[in-house]
């Protein structure tokens, strides 16, 4: 069965995702800058009140993925707090100043996660190294999953790279960025991924970005028999 992860930027988006049939979300805030760490109360609400498998983005600021020691200390504290709040996984990503996967920081995050799974996010798509080499590093660090668009602007555009990554290590490949109800089936068939990530978002009249339950339902329906 294909696993669907819906990116949600608020409690309201999480409610909409569940209404559309989602069982797993990536929870964040501030999607307009690529997503930041959500507040504790929202994590707890999604886990305990909605009963969703909640993967929490741990990203303290926008911008690059090169972190100072002080920022990294805050990230580790946040990861541990996510575990206490009942998160199933944390979503992180670290690069060196030279644009390679930061081995030391990634291993430190995996250690802090304890029993939670760790997804390495689309910092991977900004890495200045061969994608297969970067994936092997991520696998060696103990990450469970890689969220990627195949080092392209969207997953459909990076489908060939994603296809090359699938099955090469024990890391699950989660295809994300630009995934819609209209293209999700073709993406899965082209790449062989068993997990997909989409926001299924809409913009409300006041400019608020919100998950759309109807889009979530359609995306799930379109891949039910795969």
Tell me, what's the pLDDT at 78? Answer: 98
Per the CB < 8 A criterion, the answer to whether 1 and 23 are in contact is: no
Taking the CA atoms of residue 179, residue 176, residue 170 and residue 55 in that order, the dihedral angle to the nearest 10 degrees is -110
pLDDT, the chain, mean:
97
What pLDDT does 122 receive?
Answer: 96
In tens, the pLDDT along 73-120 reads: 999 999 999 999 999 999 999 999 999 999 999 999 999 999 999 999
pLDDT in tens, 8-37: 999 999 999 999 999 999 999 999 889 999
pLDDT of residue 129: 95
193-202 burial: b if 16+ Cβ within 10 Å, else e = bbbbbbbbbe
Query: Which residue in the block uniquely carries the two structure tokens 């999480």?
Result: 14
The number of residues making up the chain comes to: 226
- Round to whole Å and give the CA distance between 172 and 146: 6
What backbone phi and psi angles, to 5 degrees, belong to 90? -115, 150
């Amino acid at each position: 069965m294909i696993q669907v992860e819906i990116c949600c930027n608020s409690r309201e988006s999480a409610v909409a995702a569940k209404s559309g049939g989602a069982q797993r979300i990536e929870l964040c805030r501030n999607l307009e800058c690529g997503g930041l760490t959500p507040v504790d109360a929202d994590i707890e609400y999604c886990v305990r009140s909605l009963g969703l498998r909640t993967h929490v983005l741990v990203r303290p600021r926008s911008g690059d993925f090169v972190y100072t020691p002080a920022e990294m200390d805050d990230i580790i504290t946040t990861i541990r707090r996510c575990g206490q709040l009942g998160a199933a996984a944390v979503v992180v990503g670290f690069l060196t100043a030279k644009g390679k996967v930061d081995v030391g920081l990634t291993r430190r995050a995996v250690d802090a996660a304890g029993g939670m799974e760790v997804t390495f996010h689309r910092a991977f798509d900004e890495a200045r190294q061969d994608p297969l080499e970067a994936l092997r590093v991520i696998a060696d660090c103990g990450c469970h999953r890689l969220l990627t668009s195949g080092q392209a602007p969207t997953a459909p555009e990076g489908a060939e790279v994603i296809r090359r990554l699938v099955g090469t290590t024990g890391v699950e490949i989660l295809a994300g960025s630009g995934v819609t109800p209209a293209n999700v089936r073709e993406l899965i068939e082209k790449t062989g991924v068993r997990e997909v990530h989409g926001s299924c978002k809409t913009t409300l009249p006041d400019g608020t970005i919100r998950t759309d339950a109807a889009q979530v339902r359609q995306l799930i329906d379109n891949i039910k028999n795969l």
